[in-house]
Structure 1
Amino acid sequence: MRLILACTALLIATAAHADEPLSPAQQFARETMIVDTHIDAPSALSKQWRDLGVDQPGVEFDYPRARQGGLDVAFMSIYTSPEDDVAGIARQKAHMQIDSVEALAARHPGRFELVRSPRDVERLKPGQKVLLALGMENGAPIGDDLEQLRVFHERGVRYITLAHSHSNRIADGSYSLGRPWGGLSPFGEKVVAEMNRLGIMVDVSHLSDDAVRDVLRISKAPVIASHSGLRHFTPGFERNLSDELGRAVAKNGGVVQLVFGSGFIDARAAADTTAYFKALAEFQREHDTVVKRGGTPAKTVAQFDDEWDAAHPKPATKIGQVLDQIDYAVKTLGADHVGIGSDFDGVGGALPEGLRTVADYPNLVAGMRERGHSDETIRKVLGENLLRVWREVESRAQR
């Protein structure tokens, strides 16, 4: 009965929305292919199931909001942490998150559909469905086994962020104080080559500068940054791409998918993030020393995080800061090499005013138009560039 009532409410809300006149930006968003390469819904679903096929308060991605915003292709982020890797549970968690996305699509076959290729996107568009693709954030689930790349490719994973936050067996991470490989590891070079062979896009977000350079040296196919900002606006913040590396990604034929999260678009927030990882590393050293000596640490990592967050609140940001990044990226990298990777549901609500959920893509359209971008450029940024790279990666693998 509750499911019937929820579906009825969705139909009523959709009908009411359909009666309202659309703004020019909303109409454009509905008619244009929008591809967002980074939405963190799966990790939240694995902790607590929510039916994202209906309106869900407190989330940034669900079906009603996606249709309102004109979202066509949502890359679901299959995220595992460095701690999951150390604990040996990263592979299990990755499969569970993929299961949750499949379950969501199965529950609502008229609203969601899984896609594995740009050909699927072309076949299923236009329509009322939100198409779900899979991107893996952190290569930890493959362990030391290249064969796992084939396994995850068969499950639908179409990009892999080689590392997340910290260095792993594949590559050095941008937040890591320890850089054991000086870029990619020997195993990481094999991973990139195998991803090229299978047709999985290589994602350089979260990597150290040297690791990004190694990827670009080795990859025979264009690469992506699935959710990165530009270091021009956040000096010293390695998590965002420098002009040099952004141009190198573009020269390689790839695309930089610009992120919306406040921590990536605001200089003070970015500086706080850098300081956090340095402070966390020191805390963990002290914590581990106390444990090795048989003592009881004064506080847990979770308590450290809570105290840090309370002392370093994220500054308020606005959509104009994202538009600044788009303007600069189009100027610096070229209109063919810029896209969007929001990080919705992945930054704890720390998002700019005007870009708080997937319903807000029309605000981005309106802002780009106000700043003089042509409709052709807007279409490229909203999705055409990413689809072009995906096709090229797939084509090279088939060849």
Structure 2
Amino acid sequence: MKTPLTLLGLVLLTAASCSHESLTRPAPPPGDSAERGRELARRLIIVDGHIDVPYRLQEKLSPEGEPTEDISQRTAGGDFDYPRAVEGGLDVPFMSIYIPAELQKTAGASKALADSLIDMVEKLARTSPDKFALARSVDEARRNTSEGKVSFAMGIENGSALEDSVANVAHFQKRGVRYITLTHSADNLLGDSSYAEGAHRWNGLSPLGKQVVAEMNRVGIMVDVSHLSDATIRQVLETSQQPVIASHSSCRHFTPGFERNLSDELIRAIAAKGGVVMISFGSGFLLQAAQDHEKRLREEAMAFIQQQGLTRESPEVRTFIENWLREHPFPRARVEDVADHIDHVVKLVGIDHVGLGSDFDGVGPTLPVGLEDVSRYPNLFRVLLERGYGEAELEKLASGNVFRVWRQVEATARP
């Protein structure tokens, strides 16, 4: 979700504690759940539906246009690198090809950035072939894992990358993109965003958006409904002939009124279509207290903008926000909060329709205590084991469910 510099995106979301809801499950087997969690994370294939590494690197390019961080080695910053991925058991991170909404104002800019970020991912794999490899299919992902490599799958975050051309769907499929998030932080040519301010542009999918969904079905790209408005999601489900994913969304049950998360109704509808809800780790997605904190900051930032005669893009606004956050530190979510959201999806629709979509490198310092980076998936497995989840269930959560959707979309593609 790279945080956009808009009224809704001026802030880094914050976290606090909340009530915990879990399923009634049998007691876990005796033994060390922490060690068992580490062992399962090493052995099971873990797919993460959304990691913002490419844009993280894009923001720190050298004057020569090269990344200044080497993610094949342990890095001082960020949430992802190869050593930490190995520690955490992460096998298939979907690299987010994030396209800022403001680029929609400049013809050609969104597609150009998407192609550039794809070039970057390809180069990362090419320059460290002993550690990374591209995954353009489920079979490639499995083969890479068997060879001890971390697979880079790719998903475009913001269908504005297609510009106004349905033909660009096939272009990006050939480039290795395997899902497209139709919108991001603003309505675009394809449909309405959950973050859009004021009246929506389309009241759902646009005519072009419906054509794009059909073309994604045809060429074998998964449709991602994260970031979409409720009406847009409903119309995607009506239009798509294939299951869809929500690559990085959590449950609105815990954050009433936060449309970026999914309502129980929409979770059921996605599951009825055969799809998967991949739970995001950002504290603002997990806890109502984080939403309340963000609202307060947003109100104070807007008052500052008006008092000083600034625009939202003014550097003084970013400084104000940074200072405010230092003075009002947020209590972060916990691993148990992520487990609560997983429990909630399982309670609603069963284990076959939930996955992991952390948003690492996309939500700043709002990650839960115990899930600070990609080395920490074993902590989540530990908590789920303690709640009575078995190995077969964790395998579905970790990769089996999203692989099922990915493989079905592959298998039904038509040239």
CA distance in 2, matches of 1:298, 1:90: 23
Q: Taking CA–CA contacts closer than 8 Å with sequence separation of 6 or more, which of the two structures ends up with the larger relative contact order?
A: 2
User: Aligned letter for 2:153?
Assistant: A
Within the candidate set 364, 371, 378, 2:394 is matched to 378
Within the candidate set 209, 217, 222, 2:243 is matched to 222
Cα pair distance change 1:297/1:357, threshold 3 Å: closer
CA distance in 2, matches of 1:306, 1:205: 29
Where does residue 396 of structure 1 map in the other structure? 412
Within the candidate set 218, 229, 233, 1:197 is matched to 218
Q: Is the 8 A contact 1:262 1:314 kept in 2?
A: no
Where does residue 322 of structure 1 map in the other structure? 338
**Is 1:23 aligned to residue 28 of structure 2?**
no
**Secondary structure, aligned partner of 1:326:** helix
User: Aligned letter for 1:307?
Assistant: F
Cα pair distance change 1:173/1:62, threshold 3 Å: same
Where does residue 252 of structure 2 map in the other structure? 231
Shift of 1:283: 9.2
Q: Is the 8 A contact 2:133 2:149 kept in 1?
A: yes
**Is 1:165 aligned to residue 195 of structure 2?**
no
Tell me whether 208-217 or 79-88 shows the greater mean CA deviation.
79-88
Shift of 1:189: 0.6
Where does residue 42 of structure 1 map in the other structure? 54
- 1:260-299 mapped onto 2 (5 Å cutoff): 260-273=281-294, 297=310
- 1:335-374 mapped onto 2 (5 Å cutoff): 335-374=351-390
CA distance in 2, matches of 1:269, 1:205: 19
Shift of 1:122: 2.8
Shift of 1:272: 4.6
Cα pair distance change 1:320/1:150, threshold 3 Å: same
Residues matched between the structures, number: 370
Shift of 1:274: 6.1
TM-score (norm 1): 0.88
Within the candidate set 281, 288, 303, 2:316 is matched to 303
Q: Is the 8 A contact 1:33 1:379 kept in 2?
A: yes
Shift of 1:332: 1.0
- Structural RMSD (CA): 2.3
**Secondary structure, aligned partner of 1:202:** strand
After superposition, the C-alpha distances for 1:250-299 in whole angstroms (9 at most, x for unaligned) are 00000000000111101122345567778889999x79xx9xxxxx7477
Cα pair distance change 1:249/1:158, threshold 3 Å: same
CA distance in 1, matches of 2:171, 2:354: 30
CA distance in 1, matches of 2:294, 2:194: 11
Cα pair distance change 1:363/1:198, threshold 3 Å: same
TM-score (norm 2): 0.84
- 1:78-93 mapped onto 2 (5 Å cutoff): 78-88=97-107, 89-93=109-113
CA distance in 2, matches of 1:166, 1:150: 24
- 1:145-160 mapped onto 2 (5 Å cutoff): 145-160=165-180
Tell me whether 384-393 or 326-335 shows the greater mean CA deviation.
326-335
Cα pair distance change 1:273/1:90, threshold 3 Å: farther
Specify which structure has the higher proportion of helix: 1
**Is 1:143 aligned to residue 155 of structure 2?**
no
- 1:106-145 mapped onto 2 (5 Å cutoff): 106-145=126-165
**Secondary structure, aligned partner of 1:228:** coil
Shift of 1:170: 0.6
Structure 1 gap segments, 5+ residues each: 1-21, 291-295
Q: Is the 8 A contact 2:145 2:151 kept in 1?
A: no
**Secondary structure, aligned partner of 1:227:** coil
Q: Is the 8 A contact 2:301 2:320 kept in 1?
A: no
Cα pair distance change 1:282/1:181, threshold 3 Å: farther
**Is 1:67 aligned to residue 86 of structure 2?**
yes
User: Aligned letter for 2:38?
Assistant: Q
CA distance in 2, matches of 1:136, 1:271: 30
After superposition, the C-alpha distances for 1:63-97 in whole angstroms (9 at most, x for unaligned) are 00000111110100000111122234211111111
Where does residue 28 of structure 2 map in the other structure? none
User: Aligned letter for 1:384?
Assistant: G
Identity of aligned residues (%): 46
CA distance in 2, matches of 1:391, 1:324: 28
Shift of 1:397: 1.3
Q: Is the 8 A contact 1:134 1:158 kept in 2?
A: yes
Q: Is the 8 A contact 1:111 1:128 kept in 2?
A: yes
CA distance in 1, matches of 2:255, 2:92: 29
Shift of 1:150: 1.0
Shift of 1:303: 3.0
User: Aligned letter for 2:170?
Assistant: R
